[in-house]
Amino acid sequence: MNIPNDYLCPITLEIMNIPVILIEDGRSYEKTALERWLINNNTSPMTNKVLKSKEFIINISLKNAIEEFREKQTKSQHNQEVSTALEIKTGALPQKFKDKKYCQLLIKICLLGDRYVGKTSILKYLQFQDQISNKVYAATVGPDMATLHLNRLFKNRYAVSIVLFDLPGETKWRDLWKSQYQCHGAILVCDVTNPKTLRNIEESWYPALKEYGYDIFGGVTLCNKSDLTEDLKDEIYKDAEQFSIRNNMPLFYTSAITGKNVQIMFNQLVLSILNNNVLVNRLKESVNIVLKSKHKEEPRKEKTGGNSCC
């Protein structure tokens, strides 16, 4: 997880433990760092103006926000360690995992965002990885799709298939594909070289996902094409951080061309879905509905045992 700039002390450039507000300049600093500064200086660390008063107070709201961020950061680091053990392969589920003794789960994930933000390149990278080229893909007209799967059983009982949809990026056609928003995971993609693409996520794509999609889903925000600009002071990075914090979702800086963070992001998203009991129960319900439908179509077929292991 990337540390928001507001959580860093301007003096030490490290995340703060006890943030305090220097009353005269209104800025927040780490308490011990500010105390050391004020012993040897009578100026503001930020403005360099002479201080009439050296009083400061604890910034309680910022302290609470940082503590919450640290908890999420610890959880994210754990998920990252666990997710590296996930091996996601392209193609349909191997025959050995289609045995009835394994619970079959089908996860649907959607790529959402404007055209030319790199959604198709992300999909192709997840399909082909090192075999991907630098070719420029045409804008997606209809939903593109990739089929993937976990190369081992999850928790020794779940055989997991993944369908990744790349939805067209024209916002005027957004409502045409609204049925596709009913997904278990969503990847919201903006282009770091085009701030408008982030605004459209905030004002169009994310609201549509909330309106047409499930009430609960796994979500991530991607600042894609990060290989084209490494300046984290760019406004779009700050705005993306704020959007992700407001909507309680991880933020990744990615490049589909170099592969930076793409697989890590996808693994963590899949893992977060599989660790969400509500989503797993929904996936199980979908499996049982399919099985019941098959039973109706094959009423005379002799039963060889329980068909639902979910």
Per residue in 24-37, pLDDT tens?
Answer: 999 999 999 999 99
DSSP one-letter string for 245-269: HHTT--EEE--TTT-TTHHHHHHHH
pLDDT higher than 90, residue 17: yes
pLDDT higher than 60, residue 237: yes
- The tens digit of pLDDT for each residue in 66-90 reads 998 888 877 777 666 666 668 899 9
The answer to whether the CB of 207 falls within 8 A of the CB of 175 is no
Residue bearing the bigger pLDDT, 141 or 197: 197
Lowest model confidence (mean pLDDT) among 155-169, 219-233, 240-254: 219-233
Residue ranges of the domains in the chain?
A: 5-83, 89-287
What integer is the mean pLDDT of 272-284?
A: 92
β-strands 144-150, 88-90: how paired?
A: antiparallel
Q: Quick one: pLDDT at residue 130?
A: 59
- The tens digit of pLDDT for each residue in 88-141 reads 999 999 999 988 889 999 999 999 999 999 999 999 999 887 555 555 454 554
- Cα–Cα distance list, 301 to 113, 153, 295 (Å): 46, 29, 8
- Take residue 9 and report the two structure tokens written for it: 């002390």
Summary mean pLDDT of the chain:
85
Q: What is the CATH number of domain 5-83?
A: 3.30.40.10
**CATH level 2 (architecture), domain 89-287:** 3-Layer(aba) Sandwich (3.40)
